[in-house]
Amino acid sequence: MLTIKYTVSIAVLAGVLAWSTPSMANEAGDLLAKMRSAVHTLDYSGTLVYSQGNELSNYQISHTLENGTEKESVVRLAQGASASDAESFSLAKLQQVQPQMEAVYALDLGGQEFVANRNCQVVVARPRDKMRYLQRYCIEPDTGMLLKYSLVDRSHNTVEQLMFTALEIAVPAQAALQPAPPVANSTPSAAIPPATDWVFASLPAGFQQVQDLRQEGVNGQPPIRQLILSDGMTSVSVFIAPPGAPSMLDSIGISSGAMNIYATEVAQHQVTLVGEVPALTLQRISENLQYAR
Amino acid sequence: MNTSKEEFLSAFIDDESGEFERRRLLDELKKDDALGQTLSRYAFIGETMRASKGQPMGQGLLSRIQEELADEPAYAPDNVVAMPARANTTAAPSRVQAYRWFGMGMAATVAAVAVGGLLFFNQPTAPDAQMAAALPATVPVNAAAPAPTMVADADTRIQQVGRVDPQTRDILKQYVAQHVKYASTTVIAPSIRAASYAND
């Protein structure tokens, strides 16, 4: 009798696990997609705290959608000084969920939290390898508004986090009818065809080159190449300065919150990688960068 | 983490703990990630509350703790990144790795049995499952502990942000700005990140 009980128990457990895992992942993905739409379509205003390492800063943010056009205002609440604008900051820079990201991140539903007087549902994008950070969101289920966000490294340290401390949300009448507008990224100074002279022998799983830009040099300096790689959730810029450009002299590695910078030399070019990924990832990418000419 | 540790931590945050207790807590912080997370959370909440009252932020507790921990031999500053050692893919698994896999296997077995038991005896499971989902499924903390001392490769030098020369600093700022402008389509707060970097 006891054997039968255990057998039934294990069968039930297996069934529940098999059924619940994809379901929770779908629910997490749906909530993530809803969030990425909500930050475009909702009218919201509030105060948020942003922490990076042991530094904290406070921002006042408002976002409205008027006749299909997003308007935002972000003010950094500087301590002991007059407030200054942070014009380019935008939660609306979030893109829609990319299909390839599920190959390198597992999406999970977490518990519920209470942030800025609102209940929110935790969604975790857990990397399947050590080449990226864990991303933890807390999203209000009804509106899809992001209330809290953090990036966590492999040692379970939170390298950056953002949290609303006060928030007011209004759903615009047309919000439900309009799809999320495209990401309003600035137009690059010059987009050129994919590089054939610089190639990557291999890239960390999930990463692919998505852009190849040429940034004009400042004060007569030669142009800088910027190759952009993405895994669907995070990105890496590879800056390539030609020989003769002002260089940094040394190979360096710098970390600022989630952002890492790694500089080295490849084929006599100064190569600098910048991205919100672990330093190991930047180094791995640089090791596979080859000059094909 | 038990209640006494939380009380201890609270006293520490309020600057009400003595020297011996403070030293003991610093030792604990080096070993106990959960305690460190709790400390960060308490400090974060405290700073946020003070900020809402118009008081300065970010200059107090965490900075002092960082400074104190910086004197500890096992501490590595978080604004300096070690050049990761090259992976030796041909090396045989070490004993530590073997123990790690064994430990993970045991943990998985115990977890499966525990969940099965819970299901069988009709215990509530949702909160546990949610908590488990919220936790990053990485290697055990102890096994993933980095080398205590950051040693640079012979051909590379690691420099702190504040120590780079002005030209390098300008170049890095330009690169960060361009990354934020053109590449950060997936990060949550790119310009905040850039602003913070520029302020370092």
ipTM > 0.90 (yes/no): no
Whether the CB of A138 is below 8 Å from some CB of chain B: the reply is no
CB neighbour list of residue A93: distance below 8 Å, 6 or more residues apart: A183, A184, A185, B184, B185, B187, B190
pLDDT band of residue A157 (cuts 50, 70, 90) is confident
Which range, A71-75, A166-170, A181-185, B113-117, has the best average confidence (pLDDT)?
A: A166-170
Q: How far is A134 from chain B (nearest CA, A)?
A: 7
Question: What DSSP string describes chain B?
Answer: --HHHHHHHHHHHTT-S-HHHHHHHHHHHHH-HHHHHHHHHHHHHHHHHHHHTT---SSSHHHHHHHHHHTSTT---TTBPPPPPPP-TTSPPPHHHHHHHHHHHHHHHHHHHHHHHHHHTT---HHHHHHHHHS---S-TTTTPPPSS----TT-----GGGS-HHHHHHHHHHHHHIIIII-SS-S-HHHHHHHHHH-
Instruction: Give the 3-state secondary structure of A220-247.
Output: HCCCEEEEEEECCCCEEEEEEECCCCCC
Instruction: Give the 3-state secondary structure of A28-82.
Output: HHHHHHHHHHHHHHCEEEEEEEEEECCEEEEEEEEEEEECCEEEEEEEECCCCCC
Nearest to A177 by CA among A68, A30, A45, A27: A68
HSE, CB side, 13 Å, CA atoms: give it for residue B53: 6
Nearest to A224 by CA among B187, B102, B17, B176: B176
Cα(A206)–Cα(A99) distance, integer angstroms: 10
A251 touches A265 (CB < 8 A): yes
Q: Considering only residues A277 and B16, tell me which one the structure prediction assigns the higher pLDDT.
A: A277
Which among A95, A237, A251 is the nearest to B156, CB-wise?
Answer: A251
Percentage of chain A lying above the pLDDT 70 cut: 71
Residue A23: its pLDDT value, please?
A: 65
| Token code pair at residue B116 | 């099965």
Which among A91, A111, A255 is the nearest to B134, CB-wise?
Answer: A111
Which among A95, A124, A239 is the nearest to B134, CB-wise?
Answer: A124
Residue A285: its pLDDT value, please?
A: 95
Taking CA B196 as the corner, what is the angle to CA B190 and CA B200, rounded to the nearest 5 degrees?
145
Residue A235: its pLDDT value, please?
A: 86
**Torsion sign across C-alpha atoms B178, B181, B186, B190:** positive
Digitized pLDDT (tens) for each residue of chain B, 200 residues in all: 455 676 777 777 666 667 777 777 777 777 777 777 677 666 666 655 554 444 443 344 445 544 544 443 332 333 333 333 333 333 344 444 444 555 555 555 544 444 444 333 333 333 333 333 333 333 232 333 332 222 233 223 333 444 567 777 778 878 887 887 777 644 445 445 544 444 44
Residue contact A211–B191, C-beta within 8 A: no
**Torsion sign across C-alpha atoms A219, A220, A221, A222:** positive
Residue B172: its pLDDT value, please?
A: 80
Give the number of other CB atoms < 10 A from CB of residue A20.
Answer: 13
Cα(B109)–Cα(B12) distance, integer angstroms: 39
Residue A273: its pLDDT value, please?
A: 93
Q: How far is B171 from chain A (nearest CA, A)?
A: 8
Q: How far is B18 from chain A (nearest CA, A)?
A: 23
HSE, CB side, 13 Å, CA atoms: give it for residue A130: 12
Residue A172: its pLDDT value, please?
A: 66
- What's the Cα-to-Cα distance from A162 to each of A176, B182, B193, rounded to whole Å? 27, 22, 11
Which among B63, B83, B185 is the nearest to A253, CB-wise?
Answer: B83
Residue contact B156–A256, C-beta within 8 A: no
A243 touches A234 (CB < 8 A): no
Residue contact A261–B159, C-beta within 8 A: no
Residue A251 DSSP symbol = -
Which range, A37-51, A76-90, A213-227, has the best average confidence (pLDDT)?
A: A37-51
Q: Which of residues 29-58 of A touch B (CB under 8 A)?
A: 47, 49-58
Whether the CB of A253 is below 8 Å from some CB of chain B: the reply is yes
H/E run at residue A121: strand A118-127
Cα(A224)–Cα(A270) distance, integer angstroms: 10
Q: Which of residues 10-29 of A touch B (CB under 8 A)?
A: 10, 12-13, 16, 20, 24
> Which residues of chain A are within 8 Å of residue B81 when distances are taken between CB atoms?
253-255, 260, 262, 279
Residue contact A86–B191, C-beta within 8 A: yes
Residue B140: its pLDDT value, please?
A: 31
Percentage of chain A lying above the pLDDT 90 cut: 25
Q: Which residue of A has its CA nearest to B115?
A: A13
Mean pLDDT (chain A) is: 78
Answer whether residue A203 shows pLDDT above 90. yes
Whether the CB of B156 is below 8 Å from some CB of chain A: the reply is yes
Which among B157, B174, B197 is the nearest to A259, CB-wise?
Answer: B197
Q: What is the pLDDT of residues A95-154, one digit of tens each?
A: 555 666 778 888 889 999 999 999 999 999 899 998 999 989 999 999 999 999 888 888
Which among A54, A188, A274 is the nearest to B62, CB-wise?
Answer: A54
CB neighbour list of residue A101: distance below 8 Å, 6 or more residues apart: A125, A206, A231, A232, A233
Residue A61: its pLDDT value, please?
A: 84
CB neighbour list of residue B163: distance below 8 Å, 6 or more residues apart: none
Residue contact A256–B197, C-beta within 8 A: yes
| Token code pair at residue A82 | 């007059």
Residue contact A230–B185, C-beta within 8 A: yes
Residue contact B158–A253, C-beta within 8 A: yes
Cα(A284)–Cα(B86) distance, integer angstroms: 9
Answer whether residue A166 shows pLDDT above 70. yes
Nearest to A49 by CA among B149, B196, B129: B196
A204 touches A285 (CB < 8 A): yes
CB neighbour list of residue A94: distance below 8 Å, 6 or more residues apart: A35, A36, A39, A183, B186, B188
A256 touches B79 (CB < 8 A): yes
